[in-house]
């Protein structure tokens, strides 16, 4: 997710002609859809077969441990038989018939036992540091050890990505460098810093209702001031040392934590994304000015540097290097120190989806969320110890980091970053973007979430959009891509640590217009007018192997809909067919998502409802409609009315 002004109105379906390389891709698409149209009476058509088989993997996904289905049942159950949502954009949320959407926790509600109640007109930093933070993004569910029902009692870990000051504070206009930070006070900045980071809450289901367990010993808030250890190969490097931390091993806080992941041993991976926006000042004369520029530091979209010296690069030149990492947090030990794992590289991390490979090593897939950036993979040196949780404590400090090259023939290669000429072992971790560029990694259309399906071995890459693209290739086939697309990766031999892979285009997103072709958005023919979507962002693979997509960028002016959740079939005759499950209020973005192990509860995050308006004149007062309260980001849990798996 990128913090920016609302995009100008334009039609998502308008795609430019593709480059001279495109004919082979066009032929591929026409062959794929020509074959589908032949199959009469089916909601879709034959899948285009990607090269390279994928071996079945042991069920070790981060999302949980549902037992594999019998082979005979798998094909039937991976369909989406629910009646899809048809809803016009408005100021409320909506869910498909047969489902219930319950607001679980809102911005400002107590997390710690002694937290005060929400007082929007009298906020303090001390209160916010104990309350649920702002703009909830990644949501992870971790079953409580020993729970009678692992899908009814667990911990919810939630990222708080960023703040919208104009929606948080009375009398405050939009705050960024373009608008001059007019009237923002030191106390309001302190509140913002306390609203960042993450929350851990204990939750329990009784019947069909979820509640937060009050006074939980696991409850925790992490903020932009929480002490965090820097670990791994880059820890202690001179570029990570500051006047406040001469060791380069201890930093205060995590910021812009977007998506994330949950490890097989039950820790939370929280990913720092657009850290550049918090820094102001000048890099003139800075010895690493060129390296900082690759991360657009200082972007200066927050006023923090006015009141906190470490966010002014003129005063703390190395502080930006201490952000942009994957943070590992143990939610079962609230007094433990979170750790920034430098072995996973410094990026604008969208996510850290992971799984245990067939050889026992942990594989982490990551996207660098900016136009023309890259897709990455980390493979641990050690194997996951399933018998001893503590043995995995530092597993993420040692492994191989590589970047993807997508070729026009539908194959690809993972290239080790250590092979970048002229880069030291720590260079490739602190200045990861520069190393990837030196290796000629494929520039992608804003790679965000990258999720693996442990059952099929497939990996799904969400590419949200890239309005800056002027040169195309097979993996990024549209100039000025406003709708985004999804790529499916098949690791060679089902081995997620293999150097090679095959890839295929799953869908080009946006409104289908006219004949399907390489230049038009393409969903399967069974995708109806309410079913298509643009701007895929986060995703989840449930325990039946079904793909669910959350979007960022659908608005009434662009797509005649709001963001939400769509089911997307990835196999069989219906491959490429989408169905709408959930819609957010106007101005909001869809984040999360995460399932319980039995797929009966689906946690999603509604971020910045009412964006584009203000606290004093909001476009929605969701979720407390009619109360006079401001719009509040919130976590929502979707369930099947009467029980059963979501989407059935």
pLDDT at 173: 85
Question: Span 165-189, mean pLDDT?
Answer: 89
Among 56-70, 337-351, 538-552, 597-611, whose mean pLDDT is lowest? 56-70
Q: Is the dihedral of CA 542, 544, 547, 549 positive or negative?
A: negative
Residue 518 pLDDT class (50, 70, 90 cuts) = low
Structure token pair of residue 35 = 């074959």
Question: Span 259-284, mean pLDDT?
Answer: 97
Q: Which residues share a beta bridge with 373?
A: 444
- Phi and psi of 495, rounded to 5°? -100, 110
Contacts for 284-287: CB closer than 8 Å, 24+ residues apart: 286/313, 286/317, 287/317
Tell me, yes or no, whether 6 lies in a domain: no
**342, 235 in Cβ contact below 8 A?**
yes
Residue 608: how many other CB atoms lie within 10 Å: 23
Q: State the Cα–Cα distance between residues 55 and 194, nearest whole angstrom.
A: 45
Reduced to 3 states (helix: H, G, I; strand: E, B; else coil), residue 420 is coil
Q: State the Cα–Cα distance between residues 217 and 309, nearest whole angstrom.
A: 34
Q: What's the start-to-end Cα distance of the chain, in Å? A: 30
From residue 159, alpha-carbon distances to 122, 135, 220, 372, 633 in Å are: 24, 8, 12, 25, 12
Residue 263 pLDDT class (50, 70, 90 cuts) = very high
Whether residue 64 is predicted with pLDDT greater than 50 in this model: the reply is no
The CA-CA-CA angle for residues 583, 603, 110, to 5°, reads 105
Of the candidates 532, 541, 540, 536, which has an alpha carbon nearest to the alpha carbon of residue 577? 532
pLDDT at 14: 29
Of the candidates 295, 315, 311, which has an alpha carbon nearest to the alpha carbon of residue 303? 311
pLDDT at 178: 79
Q: State the Cα–Cα distance between residues 431 and 411, nearest whole angstrom.
A: 27
Tell me, yes or no, whether 57 lies in a domain: no
pLDDT at 127: 98
Reduced to 3 states (helix: H, G, I; strand: E, B; else coil), residue 580 is strand
Structure token pair of residue 180 = 């001059």
pLDDT at 58: 27
Instruction: Quickly tell me which residue has 């019947």 as its tokens.
Output: 207
pLDDT at 434: 98
The set of residues, in sequence order, having a beta carbon less than 8 Å from that of 27 and lying 6+ positions away, is none
pLDDT at 289: 96
Q: State the SS3 of 268-299.
A: EEEEECCHHHHCECCCCCCCCHHHHHCCCCCC
Q: State the Cα–Cα distance between residues 62 and 264, nearest whole angstrom.
A: 5
Number of H helices, E strands in the chain: 10, 31
pLDDT at 519: 56
Whether residue 325 is predicted with pLDDT greater than 50 in this model: the reply is yes
- Phi and psi of 460, rounded to 5°? -115, 130
Tell me, yes or no, whether 111 lies in a domain: yes
Question: Span 48-59, mean pLDDT?
Answer: 26
Give exposure, 150-181, as e/b (b: 16+ Cβ within 10 Å): bbbbbbbbbbbbbbbbbbbbeebbbbbeeeeb
In the sheet where 564-568 sits, what is the strand order? 94-95, 578-583, 564-568, 547-551, 536-541
Q: Who has greater pLDDT, 604 or 76?
A: 604
**2, 256 in Cβ contact below 8 A?**
no
pLDDT at 520: 65
Tell me, yes or no, whether 56 lies in a domain: no
Of the candidates 346, 341, 349, 367, which has an alpha carbon nearest to the alpha carbon of residue 288? 346
**536, 464 in Cβ contact below 8 A?**
yes
- Phi and psi of 578, rounded to 5°? -110, 150
pLDDT at 516: 60
Tell the burial category of 238 from Cβ atoms under 10 Å away from its Cβ (0-12, 13-18, 19+). Answer: exposed
Residue-averaged pLDDT of the chain: 88
Tell me, yes or no, whether 161 lies in a domain: yes
pLDDT at 1: 61
In the sheet where 399-406 sits, what is the strand order? 353-356, 361-367, 375-383, 399-406, 411-416, 500-508, 485-491, 459-463, 447-452
Alpha carbon 140 to chain centroid, angstroms: 11
Tell me, yes or no, whether 141 lies in a domain: yes
Of the candidates 357, 375, 589, which has an alpha carbon nearest to the alpha carbon of residue 461? 375
Residue 522 pLDDT class (50, 70, 90 cuts) = confident
Percent of the chain with pLDDT over 70: 87
Give exposure, 368-388, as e/b (b: 16+ Cβ within 10 Å): bbbbbbbbbbbbbebebeeee
The set of residues, in sequence order, having a beta carbon less than 8 Å from that of 396 and lying 6+ positions away, is 232, 326, 328, 341, 343, 344, 362, 364, 378, 380
Question: Span 513-528, mean pLDDT?
Answer: 70
Q: Who has greater pLDDT, 13 or 631?
A: 631
Question: Residue 285, by phi and psi: left (phi above 0), alpha (psi -120 to 50) or beta?
Answer: left
Question: Span 613-635, mean pLDDT?
Answer: 96
- DSSP type of residue 459: E
Residue 415 pLDDT class (50, 70, 90 cuts) = very high
> What range does the domain containing 496 cover?
23-49+62-640
Q: State the Cα–Cα distance between residues 103 and 635, nearest whole angstrom.
A: 6
Tell me, yes or no, whether 16 lies in a domain: no
Q: Does an H or E element contain 233, and which? A: none
Whether residue 43 is predicted with pLDDT greater than 80 in this model: the reply is no
pLDDT at 515: 55
Question: Span 202-208, mean pLDDT?
Answer: 96
Residue 572 pLDDT class (50, 70, 90 cuts) = confident
Q: SS3 helix, strand, coil % of the chain, rounded to 5?
A: 15, 30, 55
Q: What is the pLDDT of residues 371-381, one digit of tens each?
A: 999 999 999 99
pLDDT at 235: 98
Contacts for 560-564: CB closer than 8 Å, 24+ residues apart: 560/89, 561/89, 561/533, 562/89, 562/586, 562/588, 563/535, 563/588, 563/589, 563/590, 564/85, 564/533, 564/590
Q: Which residues share a beta bridge with 402?
A: 377, 416
Structure token pair of residue 106 = 């809102």
Q: State the Cα–Cα distance between residues 448 and 252, nearest whole angstrom.
A: 26
Reduced to 3 states (helix: H, G, I; strand: E, B; else coil), residue 639 is strand
Q: Count up the domains in the chain and report the number.
A: 1
Reduced to 3 states (helix: H, G, I; strand: E, B; else coil), residue 29 is helix
- Phi and psi of 178, rounded to 5°? -70, -30
Residue 3 pLDDT class (50, 70, 90 cuts) = low
pLDDT at 512: 77
Structure token pair of residue 606 = 């509604």
Whether residue 2 is predicted with pLDDT greater than 70 in this model: the reply is no
Tell me, yes or no, whether 252 lies in a domain: yes
Q: Does an H or E element contain 375, and which? A: strand 375-383
């Amino acid at each position: 997710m990128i913090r920016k002004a609302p995009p100008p109105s334009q039609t998502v379906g308008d795609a430019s002609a593709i480059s001279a390389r495109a004919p082979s891709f066009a032929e591929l698409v026409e062959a794929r859809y020509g074959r589908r149209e032949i199959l009469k009476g089916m909601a879709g058509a034959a899948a285009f077969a990607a090269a390279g088989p994928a071996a079945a993997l042991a069920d070790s996904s981060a999302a949980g441990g549902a037992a594999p289905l019998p082979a005979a049942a798998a094909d039937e159950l991976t369909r989406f038989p629910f009646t899809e949502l048809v809803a016009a954009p408005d100021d409320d949320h909506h869910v498909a018939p047969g489902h219930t959407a319950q607001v679980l926790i809102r911005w400002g509600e107590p997390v710690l036992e002694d937290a005060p109640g929400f007082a929007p007109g009298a906020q303090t930093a001390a209160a916010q540091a104990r309350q649920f933070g702002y703009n909830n993004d990644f949501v992870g569910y971790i079953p409580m050890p020993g729970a009678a029902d692992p899908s009814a009692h667990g911990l919810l870990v939630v990222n708080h990505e960023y703040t919208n000051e104009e929606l948080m504070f009375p009398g405050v206009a939009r705050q960024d460098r373009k608008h001059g930070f007019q009237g923002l006070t030191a106390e309001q900045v302190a509140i913002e810093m306390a609203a960042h980071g993450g929350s851990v809450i204990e939750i329990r289901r009784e019947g069909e209702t979820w509640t937060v367990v009050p006074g939980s010993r696991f409850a925790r808030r992490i903020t932009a001031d929480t002490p965090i250890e820097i670990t791994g190969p880059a820890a202690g490097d001179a570029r990570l040392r500051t006047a406040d931390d001469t060791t380069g091993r201890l930093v205060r806080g995590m910021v812009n934590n977007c998506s994330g992941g949950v490890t097989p041993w039950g820790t939370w991976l929280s990913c720092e994304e657009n850290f550049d926006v918090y820094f102001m000042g000048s890099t003139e004369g800075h010895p690493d000015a060129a390296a900082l520029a690759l991360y657009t530091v200082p972007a200066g979209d927050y006023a923090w540097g006015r009141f906190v010296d470490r966010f002014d690069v003129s005063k703390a030149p190395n502080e930006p290097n201490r952000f942009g990492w994957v943070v590992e947090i143990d939610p079962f030990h609230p007094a433990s120190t979170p750790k920034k794992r430098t072995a996973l590289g410094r990026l604008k991390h969208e996510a850290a989806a992971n799984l245990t490979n067939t050889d026992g090593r942990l594989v982490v897939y990551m996207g660098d969320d900016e136009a023309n950036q890259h897709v990455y993979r980390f493979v641990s040196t050690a194997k996951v110890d399933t018998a001893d949780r503590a043995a995995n404590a530092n597993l993420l400090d040692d492994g191989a980091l590589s970047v993807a090259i997508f070729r026009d023939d539908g194959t690809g290669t993972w290239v080790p970053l250590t092979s970048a000429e002229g880069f030291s072992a720590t260079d490739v971790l602190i200045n990861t973007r520069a190393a990837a560029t030196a290796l000629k990694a494929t520039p992608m259309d804003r790679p965000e979430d990258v999720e693996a399906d442990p059952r099929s071995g497939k990996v799904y890459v969400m590419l949200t959009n890239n309005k800056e693209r002027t040169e195309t290739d097979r993996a990024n086939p549209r100039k000025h891509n406003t709708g985004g697309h999804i790529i499916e990766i098949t690791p060679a031999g089902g081995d997620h640590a293999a150097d090679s892979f095959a890839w295929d285009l799953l869908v080009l997103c946006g409104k289908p217009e006219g004949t399907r072709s390489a230049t038009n958005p393409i969903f399967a023919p069974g995708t109806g007018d309410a079913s298509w979507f643009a701007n895929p962002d986060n995703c989840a693979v449930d325990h039946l192997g079904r793909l669910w997509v959350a979007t960022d960028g659908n608005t009434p002016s662009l797509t005649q809909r709001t963001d939400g959740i769509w089911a997307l079939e990835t196999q069989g005759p219906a491959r490429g067919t989408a169905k709408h499950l959930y819609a957010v209020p106007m101005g909001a973005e869809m984040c999360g998502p995460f399932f319980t192990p039995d797929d009966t509860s689906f946690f999603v995050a509604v971020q910045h409802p009412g964006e584009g308006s203000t606290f004093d004149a909001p476009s929605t007062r969701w979720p407390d409609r009619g109360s006079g309260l401001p719009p509040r980001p919130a976590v929502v849990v979707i369930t099947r009315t009467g029980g059963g798996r979501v989407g059935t």
